[in-house]
Amino acid sequence: MSPRIRLHKAIAQAGIASRRKAEKLIASGKVKVNGKIVKKQGVIVEPSRDAIEVLGGKISPFAKRKYYFLLNKPVGYVTTTKDPRRRKTVMELIPDIKGLFPVGRLDKNTTGLLLITNDGELAYRLTHPKFEIEKVYNAEVDGDITESELKKLEKGVYIDGKRTSPCKIKILNKAAVQLRIHEGRKRQVRRMFEAIGYRVLKLDRIEYAGIRAGIKRGACRKLRPSEIKDLKE
């Protein structure tokens, strides 16, 4: 007998999607339990007894083999499993294994580290703001930034009326800086620079949750067991 758990957690554990994505799937009527659409959040299920279907496919109650890949994303690929506009997606750059999805997102023109997995539980922990996962970006901007402007960024600037958390900044050269942040708001780095009057010309994520690439742009590697262990801790 498997334990009784919330529906969105059962979907994440089966490796279908992150918990947050699972909640969205439920809300949009894409999930059935024992043949009936369930749109309410928080419904309790027993995965080994209840028949759970997501997007018409039955999910397995048994833990699937988990995969963890690190992609060094090139420019021009969108971070999604499927693009309705048929643009190139990051999924074209990784092994063709069913159920994989990217953890969080990088903009089409951002390069660097992107984790791809079928482990919904881990994806949830890495993307939920309360866990404050650290990311390091190198940003090149369209002008020479002054010390006082950088201080503003470090202390926090307003994006959509909400102040960004304090972050750490290292100057690489006059128009390039390294930012260490633990938030993951949409287009966060680009909008932080827009807030002080600069446009980001190049953005590269060089570190994610303590992991560094060690692979060429466009390449993908499996995470090492020690890296997976560290992420889970």
Active site residues: 107
Spatial contact of 152 and 199, defined as CB atoms under 8 Å apart = no
- 203 lines the binding site for ligand URA (CB under 6 A): yes
Residue 2 interacts with ligand URA (CB under 6 A)? Answer: no
Could you tell me the CA-to-CA distances from 102 to 64, 68, 114, 117, 167 in Å, in that order?
A: 17, 10, 7, 6, 24
Per CB under 6 A, does 125 bind ligand URA? no
Identify the residue among 126, 189, 213, 223 touching ligand URA (CB under 6 A). 189
Out of 46, 50, 53, 107, the residue judged to bind ligand URA by CB under 6 A? 107
Please state the closest distance from residue 146 (CB atom) to ligand URA, in A: 21
User: Can you spell out the DSSP letters for 100-150?
Assistant: -EESS---TTEEEEEEEES-HHHHHHHHSGGG---EEEEEEESSPPPHHHH
Stretch that binds ligand URA, among 35-43, 59-67, 103-111, 124-132 (CB under 6 A): 103-111
Q: Does 177 bind ligand URA (CB under 6 A)?
A: no
- Beta bridge mates, 151: none
Q: CB of residue 93 vs ligand URA: minimum separation in angstroms? A: 16
DSSP of 170-186, one letter per residue?
EEEETTEEEEEE----T
110 is a site residue for ligand URA (CB under 6 A): yes
Q: How far apart are the first and last CA of the chain?
A: 27
Chain contacts with ligand URA (rule: CB under 6 A): 106-107, 110, 187-190, 203
